[in-house]
Amino acid sequence: MKYLLSITICFLLADCSLVKAQNHAPKELPRIAYAEMLKEHDTLVSYIKQISPVIYYNKEVRGIDFSHYARQLKKKITPKTTMGEYLQILKKTLNAAQDGHTSQVNSTLLDVVKEYWIPAKLVAFGSASTANMYDYVRYLKEAYYAKPELNLIYTSGEYYNMLAFSYKGTDYPAGMKLLSCNGKNIHGFVKTLTELVSPLRWDRERNRVYDENFYWPAEIYKNGVLKLIFADKNNVSHQLNIGKQDTVTYLDNKNNDYGYLSQTDTVITHYFEKTGIFYAKIPAMREELGDTIKRRLVAAFQQHKVKSMVIDIRGNGGGSDNTYSKFLSKIVQDTLKKKVVVARNFSPYIQAQYHINRDSVLKSNTYTFNPGVPTLRSQEMYYIKQDFNFVVPDSVTLPFDGKIYVLQDKFIYSSASNLSSLANNSEQLVSIGETPDLLSGLQASTLMMMLPYSKFIFRVEPQIDLTDIKKVDDIFQNHVEYPVQYSMENLYLRTTTKAHIYGKDFLQRHDPMFAKVLELEKIE
């Protein structure tokens, strides 16, 4: 399973740690010739087409044609194209793949690559050649993104502003519904942003894409201004014409973020005496955090009668699948396993990367061209079929036969999504909350490449998960057994309260997902 599992030493969402543009003195960018730009863009597109199975899923299921966008973007390269404009074309081309694991690398990942990947010879370039990419990352942060931060939230199919704010002497109340952007219905407008925002989340129930930060790309500010129209709770219209270099003044205090948690956050655990619930909040799938929960879980069993467990993965952007295995192995009754089926393109690049050919696939007990599940039609792929044990009970387990509840919101990804998926296949694990609305499932180590002339570095996801699918739409792999969505009122409270939102009191009094746990425990 070496190549089936996600790599664990980096941020897995391209923009989880995105810091928006700051004013710094511009640094002159390296330059390449027009002919080199054209050749490099062809190289980038070829790599994506050969490596990414996601683009073929996007075309067949979601109607997103990567090749169309790539052709249109190449036409924008002319003899007068500046290096800055060219970098934005490269970024947009990667965005058109609409995959959270296919992107330019950011400075955080570059640091990881230099410290770990290059010494381990996991990439085909050296440390010295990464210098240009640091310059490109700084440039794109400043040139690609506008400054406004509006704290929008998408819930129940609509956008709302989370906090009241003031702009140029006008006050705007909290909880306004966003109706339009630049004169176009907001949902229709966001649908046009395939090149500018990636990955756009997909609300499958309403068959629409969305992104709460859709207003970040500077390009959509026409003549430097973005025109938004809201309606408040009394259906009174409010127009906001905001400049791309401007900021708003919040009238409410924001005390908590709603989104991906920091990789530096740590574990929170509680034992609830009246209900016998052991609660563990894990902000990222870092293995040392799994060890911490295991120690605290064992201590709780030594002192209390634990009837059920809650694993809170809200805001968890992923990491290592070994993390949750460390503590679940102490309490699961049966092995948490899957009959895994994953797909990769059968392209020349992939064949060379994974040392396979048609004969080796045909002779293999693990690889096949006939997976026995629905497959995409537009690209030849090969498939890896393997029984995989995610969590195996320890030889000595704790005395526990209760339910294990997994609380999730839309800000989970990678190995956190894998845990949610395991709950979908286990009687003992129960998932509660929201789906991430992003392509999920078992992913592989991303493949990282450098373009030859500019030294621009990017990564591409080589794998999609076909496990347990009944139709190709199911490749999206979003699961939750008991859907619970935050109301705007609850989100406002979570954002503005000074109380500890993962503290015992708030969980019991104000958390709708924890309330669902209590409801299910009472029923049972």
Query: pLDDT tens across 39-56, in order?
Result: 999 999 999 999 999 999
Distance CA 259, CA 101 (A): 18
The reported pLDDT for the residue numbered 22 is: 45
Reduced to 3 states, what is the DSSP secondary structure of residue 342? strand
The reported pLDDT for the residue numbered 26 is: 52
Beta-carbon neighbour count of residue 89 at 10 Å? Answer: 20
Residue listed under structure tokens 């942060």: 141
Spatial CB neighbours of 116, under 8 Å, sequence gap ≥ 6: 9, 122
Nearest to 517 by CA among 309, 219, 336: 309
Beta-carbon neighbour count of residue 82 at 10 Å? Answer: 10
**Tokens read off for 1:** 């399973």
Does the structure show a pLDDT above 80 at 123? Answer: yes
Quote the DSSP letter at residue 319. Answer: B
Does the structure show a pLDDT above 90 at 474? Answer: yes
Q: What's the number of CA atoms in the CB half-sphere (13 Å) around residue 457?
A: 28
CA 140 from chain center: how many Å?
20
pLDDT in tens, 159-195: 999 999 999 999 999 999 999 999 999 999 999 999 9
The reported pLDDT for the residue numbered 388 is: 86
User: pLDDT grade, residue 413 (50/70/90)?
Assistant: confident
Cβ proximity of 322 and 290 under 8 Å: yes
Give the number of residues written for the chain. 524
For strands 201-203 and 208-210, give the pairing: antiparallel
Residue listed under structure tokens 């009246």: 274
The reported pLDDT for the residue numbered 459 is: 97
Nearest to 261 by CA among 281, 275, 246: 281
The alpha carbon torsion through 370, 376, 377, 381 (nearest 10 deg) reads -50
- Average pLDDT over every residue of 475-483: 93
Nearest to 465 by CA among 428, 438, 433: 438
The reported pLDDT for the residue numbered 350 is: 98
Cβ proximity of 277 and 403 under 8 Å: no
Residue listed under structure tokens 């129209």: 229
Instruction: Give me the residues paired with residue 339 across strands.
Output: 387
Distance CA 88, CA 140 (A): 7
pLDDT in tens, 72-113: 999 999 999 999 999 999 999 999 999 999 999 999 899 999
Does the structure show a pLDDT above 90 at 17? Answer: no
Distance CA 344, CA 342 (A): 7
**Tokens read off for 365:** 């007990």
Cβ proximity of 386 and 366 under 8 Å: yes
Nearest to 217 by CA among 232, 197, 237: 197
CA distances from 476 to 64, 282, 327 (A): 14, 24, 28
Nearest to 258 by CA among 410, 43, 45: 410
User: pLDDT grade, residue 444 (50/70/90)?
Assistant: confident
- Average pLDDT over every residue of 401-416: 94
The reported pLDDT for the residue numbered 186 is: 98
Entry pTM = 0.90
The alpha carbon torsion through 260, 330, 443, 456 (nearest 10 deg) reads 50
At position 455, the amino acid (one-letter code) is K
Distance CA 187, CA 201 (A): 12
Distance CA 96, CA 199 (A): 9
The reported pLDDT for the residue numbered 262 is: 74
Of 260 and 39, the structure prediction assigns the larger pLDDT to: 39
For strands 308-312 and 277-281, give the pairing: parallel
Distance CA 278, CA 162 (A): 31
Distance CA 281, CA 128 (A): 40
Cβ proximity of 326 and 296 under 8 Å: no
Three-state secondary structure along 464-499? Answer: EECCCCCCHHHHHCCCCCEECCCCHHHHHHHHHCCC
At position 461, the amino acid (one-letter code) is E
